[in-house]
Structure 1
């Protein structure tokens, strides 16, 4: 796919006074974040090995290589952490990394272009695709009923949006 790295987490801030960080994991199993080898900043300028220490409110406590003080940890607040794609497990045919869906063209069952996937949201009740086509924005539940086909090879999604009440 277009990306050779996937965002797997973010540093939410310092935890304690000895350089520990509060880590937000974007992995299906939060603790898996420590198993992908060194993680990189988005710009690729820094890498960290991660050792999880304990569960904390809002995430996981962790020690990062090269981070020794609370000030070092606090300076990393908001930093996203990226794993090489090849370090991540392959998925079954009906599961996808969000990064693979961003930018895909979305068409209806008749082939009419609806737009492109700009973002994927998960507010707890399942994934929602944000599809942008010109000035129109569609929010589609990422369910088999609404999105029956995802063709990564063709970089295309077939969606059957629910009828609008307009």
Structure 2
């Protein structure tokens, strides 16, 4: 498990006074400010976050040290991270995406299917992107109780019961 978790990203500048458009990856989008100060992936920059208003597909915020449109534009695409210990503990059967990446996936017979490359969500449901040496292409496995009955992060293993023909 990683010590830092991605909680959002800068989508670009908003206006000319240094405000930024944020994409929040938290369950409640406004909660991103609760985990501040947030840092860049490489840890070279750290920001306090002040939310100013909600907009379509995001939030407008002020980041400490950003006071011009040019500075805000320079941060476009920058992912923002918070230390894991600032995040709330999750109930059973809920996981942070970052914890699932790299975990081995086996079928119900114990055969290795691959490893989780990423977790994707395109609106309907979460999908586990599975890669492995025996696969010609990545496989998107629905992350549902029916398809993934067991997730054991301590053992580093996911047990999958994929739909017929998926693998």
Q: TM-score, structure 2 length as denominator? A: 0.96
C-alpha distance in 2 between matches for 1:77 and 1:37: 18
Deviation, 1:165, is 7.6
**Structure 2 residue aligned with 1:45:** 44
C-alpha distance in 1 between matches for 2:58 and 2:96: 21
CA contact (8 A) 2:105 2:113 kept: yes
**Structure 2 residue aligned with 1:152:** 153
Partner SS, residue 130 of structure 2: strand
Are 1:31 and 2:30 matched, yes or no? Answer: yes
Deviation, 1:134, is 1.2
CA contact (8 A) 2:139 2:166 kept: no
Are 1:140 and 2:141 matched, yes or no? Answer: yes
* 1:117-128 map, 5 Å: 117-128=116-127
Unaligned runs of 5+ in 2: none
C-alpha distance in 2 between matches for 1:23 and 1:158: 35
C-alpha distance in 2 between matches for 1:155 and 1:81: 26
Q: Deviations over 1:127-166 (max 9, x none)?
A: 0000111151221000000000000110000001100189
Deviates more, 1:127-136 or 1:36-45: 127-136
C-alpha distance in 1 between matches for 2:140 and 2:66: 40
Q: TM-score, structure 1 length as denominator? A: 0.97
C-alpha distance in 2 between matches for 1:5 and 1:123: 24
Instruction: Return structure 1 stretches of 4+ with deviation > 6 angstroms.
Output: none
**Structure 1 residue aligned with 2:58:** 59
